[in-house]
Chain A
Amino acid sequence: MDWNLIGIWVAAFLTLSIYSVLYRDNPFYRFAEHLFVGVSVGYGIVLSIYQGFIPFAWDPFVAAVTGESPTGFIKLIPIGIGLLFFARLSPRHTWLIRYPIAILIGFGAGIAIPNVLRANIFEQTRGTIAPFAEIAAGTLSGWGIFEAVLMVAGVICTLTYFFFAVEHRGPVKWLSKVGIAFLMIGFGSAFGNTVMGRVALLIQRVDFLLGDWLHIIQ
């Protein structure tokens, strides 16, 4: 039995079932949708168990209990803390879940805050004003100077739009209106790229149907 051929026919059937919703809702679409959700969740759970739970929790636990790894008991501490998440299932012991959550938030905030500040605030600020050092040194082209000025103007105007401590009247109003224009250009760019991405998905499926399934194209 050619399992590859069967796979192609099943994939073609499911692809057409999903696209059939463009005509109207129907049982084929709902079957394919539910199948997709079920398979995705099942696959994710199995993979998480085999590549997460077993190597990082079960194997160290067995090694520690059986004495295979004398220092393995140290790993029982994080395993035990992780198990406290299941305390949620018992109304009497729900309060125990605070400890793993506290550790996660503490770790997350501690590691994230300095790195996020550097990556998204300090580096971006540096990147915004860095071209002016090149302007001062006379190494930036005319177009580069225009881009540098435009970028700073965009940052100032857009931030002004989100500055609500003063009433948007007079110059502040006009700056914020220019900020809206920059935002609209950004949204337009994002939308255009989203269209490109979505169309690519359609093209890939049509390529599969015409090529692998019907053999009309190479």
Chain B
Amino acid sequence: MDRRIVFILVALAVIIPMLLSINLPVSVSEPTQKFYDYVESLPAGSTIMVAFDYGPSSLAELNPMAKALLKQCFDKDIRVIAITLVVDAPTLASALIQEVAAEKGAVDGEDYVFLGFRPGAVQVILGMGTDIASVYDTDYNGTAISEIPMMQDITNYDQIDLLVDFASSDTVESWIIYANVQYNQKIAAGVTGVIIAQMFPYLQTEQLVGLLSGILGAAEYENLVGAPDKGMQWINVESFVHLLIVGLVIIGNITYFIMRREE
């Protein structure tokens, strides 16, 4: 069979449910529930550090979950310090934070701050364990960190209640190895489907307090936060494509065995 037929079928499986706006129920998995419960348990005035460790190529899976978390934080008056260890992330991270902040009325420098990118992932993680200002002397806009109101009582990880890493690569392991092991920092993660399998061992040992898995995790989190958005829209479409792929795998296997028998 011409593989372009498969491409057309996949395209139709995406376009048709999207046009029909079909809504399927979304249940919540245990790792997502743990993530949500931990954030919910934090009192107002707590501080979460969010690492936007992904570029545009992983935006589809990670932006919805980051958006849902930011909404939850701003609703609960949890302060957000955003950073990134990935060079092509600052622009999209900054745009996302400003979008949610504008929607929720959060104030830059008081409710959130975006510190931007610094090179040398391991050195950045270790440096912030001693003094965040030694790594980030200014925020993304160039404001001196000493002049940012919400940073006045924050020196290092001791004042960070939770670190959340949204990642498409091995940065979660770097955060665990250096921030969790070295400084006992609590960590949760939201990752792409590609790397989720290697994250589950850390969840089982409680080195991660919660874990969001790709677009499914985003949909689950939006459901918990009560802010349905792209995650819940796209997981419906995703379900139809998965059905198609399962069907194609079954047909492919049946065809393979029939052809082998004929030979």
Q: Which residues of A line the B interface, CB within 8 A?
A: 22-23, 40, 43-44, 47-48, 51-52, 55-56, 108, 111-112, 115-116, 118-120, 123-124, 126-127, 186, 189-190, 193-207, 210, 216-217
When distances are taken between beta carbons in the complex, the residues of chain A under 8 Å from B76 are none
Determine if B21 and A217 form an interchain contact, defined as CB atoms under 8 angstroms apart: yes
Complex Cα distance, B203 from A123, in Å, reads 11
Instruction: Pick the interface stretch among B38-46, B56-64, B100-108, B254-262.
Output: B56-64
Q: Are A51 and B177 in contact (CB under 8 A)?
A: no
Using a CB–CB cutoff of 8 Å, the interface residues on chain B facing chain A are: 4, 7, 10-11, 14-15, 18-19, 21, 57, 59-61, 87-88, 90, 116-120, 122, 126, 137-138, 173, 176-178, 180-182, 192-194, 196-198, 201, 204-207, 213-216, 230, 233-234, 237-238, 241-242, 245
A-B contact pairs, 12 of them (CB 8 A): A52-B120, A55-B138, A116-B177, A124-B201, A193-B197, A196-B214, A199-B14, A199-B241, A201-B61, A203-B215, A203-B237, A216-B19
Across-interface contacts of B241 in A (CB, < 8 A): 199, 202-203
Identify the 3 closest CB pairs spanning chains A and B, nearest first: A197-B193, A204-B60, A127-B205
A123-B184 Cα distance, complex, nearest whole Å? 13
Q: Which of A23, A186, A203 contacts B4 (CB 8 A)?
A: A23
- Chain A nearest Cβ from B89, distance in angstroms: 9
Contact B178 A115 (CB under 8 A): yes
Partner of A52, one of B118, B177, B201: B118
Whole-angstrom distance between the Cβ of B87 and the nearest chain A Cβ? 5
Contact across chains for B192 and A206 when beta carbons are under 8 A apart: no
Of A120, A126, A190, A197, the contact of B61 (CB 8 Å cutoff): A197
The closest CB in chain B to the CB of A116 belongs to B177
Of B177, B206, B233, B237, most A-chain CB atoms within 10 Å = B177
- A197-B194 contact given A127-B201, A204-B60, A216-B19, CB 8 Å threshold: yes
Residues of B within 8 A of A116 (CB): 177
Specify the chain B residue showing the minimal Cβ separation from A194: B194
A195: chain B residues at CB < 8 Å are: 193, 242, 245
Tell whether, in the assembled complex, residue B14 and residue A202 are in contact, meaning their CB atoms are under 8 Å apart.
yes
**B74 smallest CB distance to A (angstroms):** 24
A44 to B56: give the CA distance in the assembly, Å.
13
**CB distance B4 to A210 under 8 Å?**
no
CB distance from A79 to the nearest CB of B (A): 14
A111 touches B19 (CB 8 A): no
Which of A123, A126, A210 counts the most chain B CB atoms within 10 A? A123
- Please tell me if the beta carbons of A217 and B18 are within 8 angstroms of each other in the complex: yes
Q: A53 CB to closest chain B CB, in angstroms?
A: 8
Q: Judge whether A204 and B197 touch: CB under 8 Å.
A: no
State whether A51 and B205 are in contact (beta carbons under 8 Å apart), knowing that A116-B177, A201-B57, A203-B60 are contacts in the complex: no
B87 and A48 form a contact (CB under 8 A): yes
Cβ–Cβ < 8 Å partners of B216 in chain A: 196
Contacts of A43 in B (CB 8 A): 87-88
B234 and A190 form a contact (CB under 8 A): no
| CB within 8 Å for A55 and B192 given contacts A195-B242, A197-B61 | no
CA separation between A194 and B241, bound complex, in Å?
Answer: 13
Q: Given A196-B216, A210-B15, A210-B18, A204–B177 Cβ distance below 8 Å?
A: no
